[in-house]
Amino acid sequence: MKNLSKISILAGAIAMTALGAVHAETRKAEVMHWWTTGSEAAALKTLVDAYNKAGGEWVDHAVPDYESALAAATSAIVGGSPPAALQFIGGKQFTDLAAQDYLTDLTPYAEAGKWADALPPAFMSAVTYDNKVYAIPIDNHGVNWMWSSTSALKKAGVTLPTKWDEFFPMLDKIKAAGITPVAQSGEPWVQLEVFYQLMMFRGDLDLYYAIFRDGNVDVVKSPEFKAFAEDLRKYTTYMDAGSAGLKWNDATSMVIKGTAAVQFMGDWAKGEFTAAGLKPGVDYDCTIGFGGKDYYIMSSDVFVLPKSASAEMAPVHKLLAETMMSPEVQVAFNNLKGGLPARLDADPSSFDACAAKGFAAMKNPEQQVAGIEMMTSSDRVGAVQDAVIQFWNTPSMTSDDFVAALAQAIETTE
């Protein structure tokens, strides 16, 4: 879903002296991001207010979604007028830009702020390229959560599963009660996430690492993966008939209203529940495992700061780094966004029940699992996603066909 090779190729054609030329105003920072839902906008306001209160001037540049953000970033860099900050996901997505010297080296800010002492090692690695820090992590999102409607489960007379074998029987009872079992978006990136979220709930950590870290084709061709693929196909039979046209937050709304029972989605979904005035443990529940090893896939939104020939951008970069890495700002932002602070030294006293559960998992090395963007090239992520959405949206495609497509995706990428 996130192939940045074209960014590198196109960006290589422009002169570095053009970068940042339009941002001459001291501490005036145009920031490009894809946070556009109600809860995301509310969380973003805490960043904007903090930056402005510290003496800056935040110029907001929102784009509709992740894919649009990548396209807009490409256009801005090629056009020679990138914003002061660009949103990415921490890991390998921005390394091509760093390798070609298009990004500001943030190492002095990281050393002054002792980021290495505050961040999980995986996050510090995810913002570092060639021993230099190039990105600011603003949050810690747990990717593999299942959100459930208390009213829908009660109406169906079911309780949450304690093991994977109880999952589909629960969905059968929910379906029999006239409730949509699974709220599901048709967005490709969501289908990819559900692909590996279900691996965590099945306890298939080895499959996850084999695909996204090791590129092990033999494991993809194993009976274990074929059994997983058959469960993935079965999962798709419990979705609402209109799921193809839903965005992720539309699907979350179905669980909020109780018209659907569960949704697999990262913890940013909690922001939608919070914005709707619902309470965890009362109106909805949050689950990261079915009673076994509750793995916690970590991912982080980060901001990179395109390099500028203007010396006037230095105070802008410094203020952006200090504001976004403030423990207090990260707590306020994530309490509304649904995630956790990227910093482990943030004060957890204001966390709700779901955030407290996630924070405990995040601090336990045995539960920590690196997100795919931290381990996998953009080319391979894109190829795996293509194979997943082909299988997802082609009911006639067998699990053997899926194995072949996924194996080819891995074999043809690095």
pLDDT higher than 80, residue 3: no
pLDDT higher than 70, residue 76: yes
* Residues 106-124: tens digit of each pLDDT: 999 999 999 999 998 889 9
* Residues 335-359: tens digit of each pLDDT: 999 889 999 999 999 999 999 999 8
The CA-based diameter of the chain, rounded to the nearest angstrom, is 65
Distance CA 39, CA 344 (A): 23
Average pLDDT over residues 235-258: 95
Query: What's the pLDDT at 293?
Result: 78
pLDDT higher than 60, residue 8: no
Candidates 150, 231, 230, 213; CA nearest to 414 is 213
Query: What's the pLDDT at 14?
Result: 36
Average pLDDT over residues 60-81: 79
Token couple for 241: 């008939």
Q: What are phi and psi of 265, to 5 degrees?
A: -165, 155
Query: What's the pLDDT at 16?
Result: 37
Query: What's the pLDDT at 153?
Result: 98
CB burial of 387-407 (b: ≥16 within 10 Å; e: otherwise) equals bbbebbeeeebebeebbebbb
Token couple for 144: 């593999």
Query: What's the pLDDT at 413?
Result: 93
Burial of 21 (0-12, 13-18, 19+ CB in 10 A): middle
Asked if 167 and 245 touch (Cβ cutoff 8 Å), the reply is no
- Distances in Å between the Cα of 406 and the Cα atoms of 213, 222, 342, 388, 412 are 14, 12, 32, 8, 10
DSSP string, 172-183: HHHHHTTSEEE-
Select the highest-mean-pLDDT range: 6-20, 64-78, 129-143, 306-320.
Answer: 129-143
Query: What's the pLDDT at 39?
Result: 86
| Whole-structure pTM value | 0.81
Question: What percent of the chain has pLDDT above 90?
Answer: 72
- Range name among 129-138, 319-328, 351-360 with the lowest pLDDT average: 351-360
Burial of 349 (0-12, 13-18, 19+ CB in 10 A): exposed
pLDDT higher than 60, residue 63: yes
Asked if 86 and 304 touch (Cβ cutoff 8 Å), the reply is yes
Asked if 189 and 1 touch (Cβ cutoff 8 Å), the reply is yes
pLDDT bin (cut points 50, 70, 90) of residue 318 is very high
Query: What's the pLDDT at 301?
Result: 93
Average pLDDT over residues 14-20: 37
Query: What's the pLDDT at 388?
Result: 98
* Residues 147-203: tens digit of each pLDDT: 999 999 999 999 999 999 999 999 999 999 999 999 999 999 999 999 999 999 999
Average pLDDT over residues 44-56: 96
Q: Which residue has the higher pLDDT, 243 or 72?
A: 243
- Range name among 16-30, 201-215, 250-264, 370-384 with the lowest pLDDT average: 16-30
Candidates 158, 107, 154, 156; CA nearest to 135 is 107
Distance CA 146, CA 226 (A): 23
Token couple for 396: 């006639």
pLDDT higher than 50, residue 13: no
Q: Which residue has the higher pLDDT, 287 or 69?
A: 287
pLDDT higher than 70, residue 36: yes
Mean pLDDT computed over every residue of the chain: 89
- Distances in Å between the Cα of 179 and the Cα atoms of 152, 273, 284 are 7, 19, 16
